[in-house]
Amino acid sequence: ETGVTQTPRHLVMGMTNKKSLKCEQHLGHNAMYWYKQSAKKPLELMFVYSLEERVENNSVPSRFSPECPNSSHLFLHLHTLQPEDSALYLCASSQERQNYGYTFGSGTRLTVV
Amino acid sequence: GESVGLHLPTLSVQEGDNSIINCAYSNSASDYFIWYKQESGKGPQFIIDIRSNMDKRQGQRVTVLLNKTVKHLSLQIAATQPGDSAVYFCAESDSGGYQKVTFGTGTKLQVIP
């Protein structure tokens, strides 16, 4: 593992379900991110938490709700999703004010049926 | 708006040859550039980075070149191996605060045995 662990690896959910994605980082970083990766599109930044405070929310629909209880854990709560929300959801972490790149998890492959 | 793009979506290279993946960026304020490799079923993995005060940086079998005049970035892989088959992303970032990284669409590198 890369130091950033995401669970589950795969998730199939119906449009009326509620589920949560979990991310945990073991690197001592203080910033965490959710990205959405769809086929043939650049990585889309969804949410940023820096020092456990949400600092960016890129106009993401309210059916996605992030939570960052501490600097090591990040959640993405999902409810009433649409089929077009099917994608790979990537969590990443970095150290604020130090440009050393992100460390990514392996992602959760989400399929909405 | 600012964007990071790639010249070619797919690159096929004979095993043992050198690979060159190109990238154009448009934000002249970006001062940090990263190449990521994403293998199937995995999250993006940091390969090599370069800061804007440099024009070349070498790693193990990889070299990144930065031409700030024409806002161009390239990744050179020497003696390409089957394990190099993946999607490669260039990304740009600026200093300070949480690290906001903008990604390109990605280039798929196929290594022909």
**pLDDT digits over A78-97, tens only?**
999 999 999 999 999 988 76
For residue A24, the surrounding DSSP H or E stretch is: strand A18-25
Find chain B residues with C-beta within 8 A of A104's C-beta. 36, 43-45
How far apart (Å, rounded) are the C-alpha atoms in residues A92 and A102?
A: 6
Q: Would you give per-residue pLDDT tens digits along chain A (113 residues)?
A: 459 999 999 999 999 999 999 999 999 999 999 999 988 788 899 999 988 888 777 789 999 999 999 999 999 999 999 999 999 999 999 887 666 788 999 999 999 99
Determine whether the interchain pair B42/A106 forms a contact, defined as Cβ–Cβ distance below 8 Å.
yes
Determine whether the interchain pair A42/B96 forms a contact, defined as Cβ–Cβ distance below 8 Å.
no
Task: Quickly tell me which residue has 């409810």 as its tokens.
Answer: A79
pLDDT in tens, A69-78: 999 999 999 9
Length, in residues, of chain B: 113
